[in-house]
Amino acid sequence: MTVQEIHRRFVAGELSLVERVEQFLKAIDRQQLLNAFVEVYREEALARARALEIRREKGEALGPLAGLVVAIKDNICYQDHGTTCASHILEGFVSPYSATVVKKMLAADAVIIGRTNMDEFAMGSSNENSYYGPVKNPHNPEYVPGGSSGGSAVAVAAGMADLALGSDTGGSIRQPAAFCGVVGLKPTYGLVSRYGLVAFASSLDQIGPFGRTVADVAYFTPTFAGHDPCDSTSVPFEIPDYIAQLKDLPQKLTIGLPEEYFQEGIDPQVRDRVMGAVEALKKQAGITVKPVHLPLTDYAIATYYIIATAEASSNLARYDGVRYGYRAREVEDLQEMYFRTRSEGFGREVKRRIMLGTFVLSSGYYEAYYRKAQQVRRLIKEEFDRAFQEVDLLITPTSPTPAFRLGEKLDDPLKMYLSDIYTVTVNLAGICALSMPCGSTEQGLPVGLQIIGGPFQETRLFQCGHLLEQLLGP
């Protein structure tokens, strides 16, 4: 059943929400090996399910998420609940307020079942950089689920929740969606409030959804998107009814294939599965596929990691042991407390990025690195603008490879960073992209296809993705 059908049947009295929550809790218990959850709100979820059933019996109006069970990433604040970003430095921290997206989901009558594991402070492409240990791929536990929102992707893929929220700074929703065989959306920057999302790189971060199908994500997104006065980067944009327009694909649609995304370095099986999907689209009346050029793709990884690490070094300066979170004990003075707190509290990858970011912002290097990266970012944005004057959407692989083995890239940061080559440009340009399954490798690992749209073109992403689901089948 789609989530829309589940909601309809719950409201009609055909489903028990308590029983559904109990089934999800059993699924979480059975699959603890996957390490998808940091904390499960067992009693709270059951109590909320009972309360919603009582409201239904009284004939009260119910929100669009009534009957549905949602998981949230451990960097999204939920009042009176822990929020640790999978880091030792925030161990024991309890949020004093809820993120706007959480408030909206609760107002829509969702049941939140728990917070999911992630790469520490959302820094990673494999979900191996967590204080709570690595998350594992549900298709093969010897492989990574992708990062940094791996826990949320696994929760949906392994039947531990109907839907989940993650965050995407350089591909952290789309890549795990691809590795786990689910659908993930990186919304246009400003479509979804960042208020209550613990910041990694503020100009790149966006909260986004995971679902089993494109229709599930299209139904879920309007319940938490929209303008928020608490977030100065939130755009006053009227959210369309995505689900109502799902089948209204334009009679003429031009899709671009960026040649730079299909060159050396891509796994042959990934290329074949994506091109197979493209061939299926070509056979549809009114759809044209043409090559496009995005030559600045070669500079994307360098540009992204300069900007992201610079913003991270600034954002993470607040974790000093003075106000909240972990604090080193038995220290002689304030300086030693700062040093030991941050040394002991942060993991290896977070410290690496803080040092990189501090370096590129330092006197003498700011102009050579950070300023230059911002100039290239503008050029990348303009390159996408020109491409969307010629085509309506772009189709690329989500990742150059399928999921890789646990530990395979941990000791080679550059190799790990290159996993994001096809996703970081979307964040740099502030546009939207959807990752969806388009088949599997001979080893049974999912392959993800990425559909990229211009600013606030989510409707078209959903329409094209839904059509592709019908063409490719289960």
Looking at residue 370, what is its pLDDT? Answer: 95
User: At 447, is the secondary structure helix, strand, or coil?
Assistant: strand
On the question of pLDDT at 67 being above 90, the answer is yes
On the question of pLDDT at 414 being above 90, the answer is no
Residue 457 included in any domain? no
Known catalytic membership, residue 363: no
Residue 46 CA to residue 35 CA, distance in Å, equals 21
Q: Give pLDDT tens digits for 379-406.
A: 999 999 999 999 999 999 999 999 999 9
The pLDDT confidence band at residue 364, using thresholds 50, 70 and 90, is confident
Looking at residue 473, what is its pLDDT? Answer: 83
Residue 59 included in any domain? yes
Residue 156 CA to residue 37 CA, distance in Å, equals 12
- Domain of 82 in residue numbering reads as 3-223
- CB-CB contact of 89 with 346 (8 Å): yes
The pLDDT confidence band at residue 363, using thresholds 50, 70 and 90, is confident
Domain count, the chain: 1
Strand intervals (E) in 2-122? 37-40, 69-73, 111-116
Residue 60 included in any domain? yes
Residue 228 included in any domain? no
Residue 158 included in any domain? yes
Residue 157 included in any domain? yes
Q: Are strands 111-116 and 37-40 parallel, antiparallel or unpaired?
A: antiparallel
Catalytic residue among 98, 125, 126, 148: 148
CA 151 to chain centre: 10
Residue type, position 201, single letter: A
Residue 470 CA to residue 474 CA, distance in Å, equals 8
Residue 186 included in any domain? yes
On the question of pLDDT at 371 being above 90, the answer is yes
- Rounded mean pLDDT, 451-458: 98
Q: Give pLDDT tens digits for 243-293.
A: 999 999 988 999 999 999 998 889 999 999 999 999 999 999 899 999 999
Catalytic residue among 73, 103, 136, 409: 73
**Distant-in-sequence, close-in-space partners of 427: CB < 8 Å, separation ≥ 6:** 168, 169, 170, 171, 186, 189, 204, 206, 304
On the question of pLDDT at 474 being above 80, the answer is no
Catalytic residue among 152, 172, 234, 399: 172
User: The CATH number of the domain where 204 resides is what?
Assistant: 3.90.1300.10
Residue 291 included in any domain? no
Known catalytic membership, residue 203: no
The pLDDT confidence band at residue 178, using thresholds 50, 70 and 90, is very high
Residue 196 CA to residue 101 CA, distance in Å, equals 8
DSSP-assigned letter for residue 34: G
The pLDDT confidence band at residue 90, using thresholds 50, 70 and 90, is very high
CA torsion sign for 96, 101, 106, 112 is negative
The pLDDT confidence band at residue 455, using thresholds 50, 70 and 90, is very high
| Helix (H) / strand (E) containing 185 | strand 183-186
Share of the chain above pLDDT 90, in %: 94
Looking at residue 415, what is its pLDDT? Answer: 87
- Rounded mean pLDDT, 182-191: 98
